[in-house]
Structure 1
Amino acid sequence: MSGETAVTQTHDPQSGALDAAGLRRAVAVLSTVQIVSWGVLYYAFAALQSSITADTGWSNVEVTGAFSLAQLCSGGAGIWVGRHIDAYGPRRVMTLASLVAIPGVAAVALAPNLAVFYLGWVLTGVAMAGTLYPPAFAALTHWGGTRRVRALTTLTLVAGLASTVFAPVASVLDDAIGWRAAYLMLLTGLVVVTVPLHWWGLGLPWHVDHVEHADGPTEDQRREQARARVGGVARSTPFVLLTLANALTGLAVFAVVINLVPMLVEQGMSRNLAAVALGLGGVGQVAGRLGYARFAAATSVTTRGVLVLAGVAVATAALALAPAAPALLIVLGMLLGLARGVYTLVHATAVTDRWGPASYGTLNGILSAPALVAAAVAPFAGAMLAKLLGSYANAFLVLAGVAGVAAVLMLGATPVDRRRGGPSAIRGDRR
């Protein structure tokens, strides 16, 4: 066994899965830190970016460029984070990432110039790689065993409320004390919640079989076999198509999320009401995740991927074409949130549904990296599309088309043996 064992828990020595009490603890800890991490590191920017540009005089492209750089840094660091978690568990890397986030957000809040602002987002991007969904998904996939889908669903249900809580709170703080003080106020959540919970809450056993047997492969041979398997999967056509579909979805979804407030303001909403609408999208995410288990049990891995991405495309197009009625736009935003919420779980289980749980952290890191790059480009791409096409509504139509292409790619993103298996995501591993 390797990894963190500060707290003794009964677990399966073959799979590394925790017992019920240990898994409940892991889910509670990770759910709590996810809502704070997403809220402070991601959704606060969506609510505060217009105030940043107005106060500093920096252009919208310059400000969103810094946020995009953070996503690039997150994607690059995420592959290493996944490999580290596979080998040693999440405790140390997630705690370190939480610590890195503190000077990162502080630099963003206190930046006297654009260079320091960018440096702050570089640190924040590195922190994102070790605090947001991918490392949490890797931890619960390992610890959850055959119960991982329920654990992942609970995690994303709670984290889905991050925008609901933090977007309006950030907007209110902005009005009361300004965007810089708002960021510093939100920063206390990282200090008080994420750092201690990651360190003291994730000291659970992380089982990796390093025992050598006379008639079995050595540790070095097992590592080489694992590398060969990862390489074979990563080079396969289904994995490549899945990665492309995931990247295009990331581009469409995050361009919409980051540009939703200015799009709604363009439609005549006040900034505060638009921030509330962004937050209510989180309610839609929670609703989607509540129904995921039944949805997954009734569909094949290919079918649910195609349906969810088609749903993202349709909801995005509906936002673009709808009349400027606040109530209708809010409802459509919640429907888009519902599709996004389901897609989060489709992505979280994409590797295990197709290739099983072995080397999940590494494979999911490779799968997620292009999507994070796309998410990095997304804020800039959405703003530029709106500028070139004359409105955010026209930009959203293009983004709907991007999500539609992703849905088509998803048709070929499943290995042949898993296509024939029918509904399987909820019925345990094929270990």
Structure 2
Amino acid sequence: MIVAALSVTETVTWGIIYYGFPVFLRPMEQDLGASRVAVTAAFSIGLGTSALASISVGRWLDRRGPRALMTVGSCLATLLTFAWARVESLATLYVVWFLMGLAMATTLYEPAFAVVVSWFARGRDRALLTVTLVAGLASTIFMPIEAALLERMGWRSALTVLAVVLGTITIPIHALLLRQGTAGRTAGVAEGAAPSLTLGQAARTAIFWVLGIAFVVSNFATAAVTTHLIPFLVERGYSAAVAAAAIGWTGAMQLPGRVLFVPISARLGSRVMVAAVFVAQALGVGQLTLLARLGTLVPFIVLQGAANGMATLARASSLAEIFGARNYGAISGAVALGANSARAFGPVGASLLLVGLGSYPAVFWALAASLVAAGAAVLLADTTTRAER
């Protein structure tokens, strides 16, 4: 029931809040008389706010459970979507998306994963897989609906309709069905495991910082490549339509990547799996530097897409396995602070790298090398993280 509830609410929230923004980007520019950079800054503000709120959200989830927080988050997201439909200036848009960042922090993957971890000591990876597989269809389901609503009634009316859908579906599910699981309290007794680490204890281990920095590198690289792939390909003679399709297919490859995650992780273990994901991302990015020789984007799409899909599960699974379930929310929130900030900074950061390094191939080589280094660091890091410390 918990997995089914979260699968529905995550799909709806991601589909409307996260994927709705790019659909309505162009009409917002025209209506507000603002540049694309100015309008997309609102989205970056939301992502940054969400990242900053992640530790506080995680602590709340560990101590008080998800029902009140995620219900309030859904109420806030609904009200802000109504407000979004009525903005008349950039300043108002920025305020709405600053607050929307708080709503995202309390309703998207981080709190949902914390709920799953609190419920499942065994079968956790499969439960996480189910939520992300269903929610992974959010863009496929909602972006065509949003585009149709936009064409039929304009962006403001479309957002009003979507706000009603968002509130009608997510608020009652969060209010009536969510509650805290007991896996974090019972795992040690049931399996003879050492107690879970607190955030403070985790922060005194090498593996916590290595994982935190590694996921910063991973999210930065993913955001950078996604944002700059179209201009890179257009410079090399591809049409904008083909470049956009490459991004779409890369996103589609996340689903089979997630399906493969569970059996591969069961064989390799969480730490080796995380390192393998980073190396696969590096190999994917590296394909772009060899595009002239390869003559095809298929290796990039397969490797990058599958690895990106696995990375979402790898973070949740590795943190729960290494540090335990009891304080997962706070620990995951601390890692998310850096990782989600990197996602927000990635597009701008890649632009700065492009200026400094002088070409896209140099940028992609630098990103690939950083990902390989991140994978190696995860493999070599001290894993003494529990009671023996």
Comparing 129-138 with 311-320, which one deviates more in the overlay?
311-320
Q: 1:259 to 1:127 in 2, by over 3 A?
A: farther
Taking structure 1 as reference, are residues 300 and 262 closer, same or farther at Cα in structure 2, changes over 3 Å only? same
Deviation sequence 1:368-410 (CA, Å, 0-9, x none): 1111111121233345556777776765554444433432332
1:307 equivalent to 2:283? Answer: no
TM-score by length of 2: 0.83
Q: Does 1:354 align with 2:322?
A: yes
Q: What SS class does the counterpart of residue 34 from structure 2 fall into?
A: coil
State whether residues 241 and 412 of structure 1, in contact with CA within 8 Å, keep that contact through their aligned partners in structure 2.
Answer: no
- Name which of structure 1's ranges 138-147 and 165-174 shifts more when overlaid on structure 2: 165-174
CA distance in 2, matches of 1:88, 1:143: 14
Q: Distance in 1 between matches of 2:293 and 2:155?
A: 28
Q: Residue 255 of structure 2: which of 286, 299, 324 is its match?
A: 286
Number of corresponding residues? 376
Partners of 1:264 and 1:168 lie apart in 2 by 25
Q: CA separation of 1:409/1:380 partners in 2, compared to 1, >3 Å: closer, same or farther? A: same
Residue 409, structure 1, aligned to residue 377, structure 2: yes
Other structure's SS at 1:358 match: coil
Structure 1 segments unaligned to the other structure (5+ residues): 1-24, 211-225, 419-431
CA-CA distance at 1:279 after TM superposition: 3.9
Check whether the contact 1:285–1:337 (CA below 8 A) recurs between aligned residues: yes
1:76 is the counterpart of 2:52: yes
Asked if structure 2 preserves the Cα contact closer than 8 Å seen for 1:164 and 1:280, the reply is no
Does residue 343 (structure 1) correspond to residue 319 (structure 2)? The answer is no
Asked whether 1:249 is paired with 2:218, we answer yes
Q: Distance in 1 between the 2:299 and 2:21 partners?
A: 23
Superposed displacement of residue 172, structure 1: 5.1
Equivalent of 2:346 in 378, 388, 398: 378
AA partner of residue 110 (structure 1): R
User: Which structure 2 residues correspond to residues 12-27 of structure 1 after superposition, within 5 A?
Assistant: 25-27=1-3
Gaps of 5+ in 2: 186-194
Q: Does 1:236 align with 2:205?
A: yes
- AA aligned to 1:248 is V
Q: Which residue of 2 aligns with 1:220?
A: none
Cα distance in 1, alignment partners of residues 216 and 380 from structure 2: 15
The reply to whether residue 37 of structure 1 matches residue 13 of structure 2 is yes
Is the alpha carbon distance of 1:285 and 1:116 closer, same or farther for their aligned partners in structure 2, counting shifts above 3 Å? Answer: same
Tell me, in whole angstroms, the C-alpha distance in 1 between the residues paired with 2:370 and 2:230.
20
Contact 1:47/1:261 (8 A) holds in 2: no
Distance 1:264 1:50 in 2: 22
Q: State the distance in 1 between where 2:26 and 2:362 align.
A: 20
Structure 1 residues 228, 396: closer, same or farther in 2, change over 3 A? closer
Alignment of 1:9-408 (within 5 A): 25-49=1-25, 52-53=28-29, 56-171=32-147, 173-174=149-150, 177-202=153-178, 204=179, 206-207=181-182, 229-260=198-229, 268-270=238-240, 277-319=246-288, 321-322=290-291, 328-329=296-297, 332-383=300-351, 385=353, 396-408=364-376
Over the matched positions of the two proteins, sequence identity in percent amounts to 36
CA offsets, 1:184-213, max 9 Å, x none?
A: 4443431222222211232x4645999xxx
**Residue 91 and residue 286 in structure 1: after superposition, are their counterparts in 2 closer, same or farther (change >3 A)?**
same
Per-residue CA deviation, residues 135-193 of structure 1 (Å, 9 max, x unaligned), is 11110111112121211111111122223333454455555555444444443431222
* Distance change >3 Å, CA 188–CA 279, structure 1 → 2: farther
- Find the aligned partners of 2:24 and 2:234 in 1 and give their Cα distance: 14
What is the TM-score of this pair, normalised by structure 1? 0.76
Q: 1:378 to 1:83 in 2, by over 3 A?
A: same
Q: Partner amino acid for 1:301?
A: S
Distance 2:16 2:289 in 1: 28
Q: Contact 1:289/1:345 (CA < 8 Å) preserved in 2? A: yes
Pair 260,181 (structure 1): closer, same or farther in 2 beyond 3 Å: farther
- RMSD of equivalent CA atoms: 3.3
